[in-house]
Amino acid sequence: MKNNPKGYVSFVLHAHLPFIHHPESDNYLEEEWLFEAISETYIPLLMNFKKLEEEKVDFRITMSLTPPLLSMLASPLLQKKYTKYLIKHIELCKKEVIRTKDNERLNNLSKYYLNRYSNDLHIFKDVYNSNIIEGFKHFQDIGVLEIITCRSNTWIFSYSIC
């Protein structure tokens, strides 16, 4: 058997959410999907990309960002709603830290989420000025992130024959 590779496999991170936007109200469950994705996916990705950059790790990522997702991330109203979402969760976490003071396990969990949401607010507002698209653009500009787009219902898998 030869040691020559027959090809390469590329896994591409596909970032998409269905378009959801309700300017008429502050409390639509579907908009929380976006807010959860920002806190649980996009901010952690940017934080890890930044860590790799600071550690001078030579990495390459391909990521699709669909038009509906980009539209929502660029919306000033949804950016304000995300900030309110974080502030609401921070306030709840502060109350939980007090409420759970006699239960070390729950208190530690409450503190974890308080720190996490507080950090998300700092990164979103102070680091990215409420526009995380600029964060992804930075990594594209320095050549470590290739941003592609696609139809929102397309799964991406790439295989190249050498």
pLDDT 10s digits, 81-94: 999 999 999 999 99
Where does 7-161 sit in CATH, by number?
3.20.110.10
More confident residue, 7 or 124: 124
**Local confidence band at 10 (pLDDT 50, 70, 90 cut-offs):** low
Count the Cβ atoms, other than its own, within 10 Å of residue 140: 15
Burial letters for 60-77: b for 16+ Cβ neighbours within 10 Å, e otherwise?
ebebbbbebbbebbeeee
More confident residue, 116 or 65: 116
Instruction: Give residue for tokens 């990309």.
Output: 49
pLDDT of residue 116: 97
More confident residue, 23 or 111: 111
The per-residue pLDDT for range 89-138, each reduced to its tens digit, is 999 999 999 999 999 999 999 999 999 999 999 999 999 999 999 999 99
pLDDT of residue 1: 52
Q: Write the secondary structure of the chain as one string of H (helix), E (strand) and C (coil).
A: CCCCCCEEEECCEEECCCCCCCCCCCCCHHHHHHHHHHHHHHHHHHHHHHHHHHCCCCCCEEEEECHHHHHHHHCHHHHHHHHHHHHHHHHHHHHHHHHCCCCHHHHHHHHHHHHHHHHHHHHHHHHCCCCHHHHHHHHHHCCCEEEECCCCCCCCCEEEEC
pLDDT of residue 158: 41
**Local confidence band at 14 (pLDDT 50, 70, 90 cut-offs):** low
pTM above 0.85?
no
Q: How far is CA 126 from CA 44, 50, 118, in A?
A: 16, 15, 11
- The yes-or-no verdict on residue 2 having pLDDT over 90 is no
pLDDT of residue 148: 84
pLDDT of residue 23: 60
The per-residue pLDDT for range 27-59, each reduced to its tens digit, is 666 788 899 999 999 999 999 999 999 999 988
pLDDT of residue 149: 77
Which residues neighbour 12 within 8 Å (Cβ) at sequence distance 6 or greater? 62, 63, 64, 148, 156, 157, 158
What is the torsional sign of CA 57, 59, 71, 78?
negative
